[in-house]
Amino acid sequence: MQKATYKDSGVDLEIYAESNNLLRRELAMLTAAAAAAFIIAWFMGMTVLVGPVNTLVQAARSLAGGNLAARSSLVGLSGEMGRLAAAFDETAAALETRNQELVNAKIAADDLVDSGEIIDRRSVI
């Protein structure tokens, strides 16, 4: 027995042509909108999250490498990332200040030892 087709059943496929074209057009527009939404989300993620995080990581590595003048340079950033950047900058500034205080104290102590006002007991055997 032969398999029946739409033509055999008397259904005219031409009446579905317009709705099929409309469906194809709508699917193409939906696909384009989804692609655009993905691209926008990716761009926003890179701008809002990944970029500032990378900047903070670079500043942290610079600070860990001994550059006490390292700052995040993320001034004016709002939200949690802005607060994190501000806290990092405050911490780096405090470390730089304390380090300078230690250097100044060492210089003052060395000056006192050199002037003879204080005897350096480490050099006495």
Q: Where are the domains of the chain?
A: 10-123
Pull the structure tokens for residue 57.
């990581």
Please report the pLDDT score of residue 123 as a whole number.
62
pLDDT in tens, 47-104: 888 999 999 999 999 999 999 999 998 988 888 999 999 999 999 999 999 999 999 9
* pLDDT value of position 91: 95
Max Cα distance, the chain (Å): 120
Residue with tokens 């995080």: 53
**According to the model, what pLDDT value does residue 78 have?**
87
Residue 12 DSSP SS3: coil
pLDDT digits (tens, 9 = 90+) for 99-113: 999 999 999 988 888
Considering only CA atoms, which of 32, 88, 39 is closest in space to residue 64? 88
pLDDT of residue 32: 98
Q: Choose between 124 and 92: higher pLDDT.
A: 92
User: Over 80: is that where the pLDDT of 4 sits?
Assistant: no
Burial 92-109 (b: 16+ CB within 10 A, else e): beeebeeeeeeeeeeeee
Contact 92, 70 (CB under 8 A): yes
Token couple for 30: 């939906």
Alpha helix (H) residue ranges in the chain:
6-9, 14-45, 51-64, 79-115
What crossing angle do the helices spanning 79-115 and 51-64 adopt, rounded to 10°? 10
